[in-house]
A = this chain, B = another copy of it.
Amino acid sequence: MLFHFKDKFPQLTPYWDKYREFQKRVEVGAKTVLLEEGKVSGHYIFIEKGCVRMGFNNNGIDKTVQFFFENEGLTSFESFLKNTPSLFTIETIEPSVVYLLPKIHVNNLMAELSHDPGFTNLILEVSAERQLHYMHEFVSFIRDTPEQRYQNLLNTRPHIIQRIPQHYIASYLGISRVHLSRIKSALAKKK
């Protein structure tokens, strides 16, 4: 639905701003849970300041699937869409300022604008981008070694490596934190 947008889809901003009055601004500390795994997602979240991760607990081991930063929005999509228990926890990494928009208003926004072809096309575009994003992640696991995946991250999204604690990145790459550390030191030697 309305995933990342401010920077990537600035055309969405006017639609979004119509609903600004219903958004609740919250300031929270680091490691604050915004949505707990198993609960039904009731809000769309927009990040003004800070960063957030989406992850889950697998047999006591914490896994991370995605990171979000300033001017990005997110929700636990499947849960939000289908009113099912969320597969993921959403949790701040740094102290953050976020806006919460209750689901009702998102639904209103979608309903109200379903006859606006410009808006509809935008939503389709955003949806296609989300699909491609996850597809690329998936293909990368088939195609690349963990070391290559780390280098891709370094090349295409260095802010993640700069801002995010290493153990979260390791699980995002599908490897142990020890192995990520080894990869980094191997790369350092190569240069």
Contacts and interface: CB of A to CB of B under 8 A. Distances in A.
Interface string A106-135: 000000001101001101100110111011
Interface string A55-77: 01010000111000000000001
With a 10 A CB-CB cut-off, give which of A65, A123, A142, A172 has the most chain B CB atoms.
A142
| Oligomer copy total | 2
A64 B143 CA distance: 9
A142 B77 contact: no
A31 to B, nearest CB: 20
Interface in A50-107: 56, 58, 63-65, 77-78, 81, 87
A130 B138 CA distance: 13
A81 B134 contact: no
Interface residues of A, number: 33
A117 B110 CA distance: 12
A16 interface: no
A71 to B, nearest CB: 21
A132 to B, nearest CB: 6
A174 B78 CA distance: 25
A39 B8 CA distance: 27
A124 to B, nearest CB: 7
Contact of A63 (B1, B124, B143): B143
Nearest to A126: B127
Contacts of A64: 142
B174 A142 contact: yes
12 contacts: A1-B128, A78-B135, A114-B121, A124-B124, A131-B134, A134-B134, A134-B135, A134-B138, A137-B138, A138-B141, A141-B141, A142-B171
Q: Which 5 A-B pairs have the closest CB atoms?
A: A134-B134, A141-B141, A127-B127, A131-B131, A134-B135
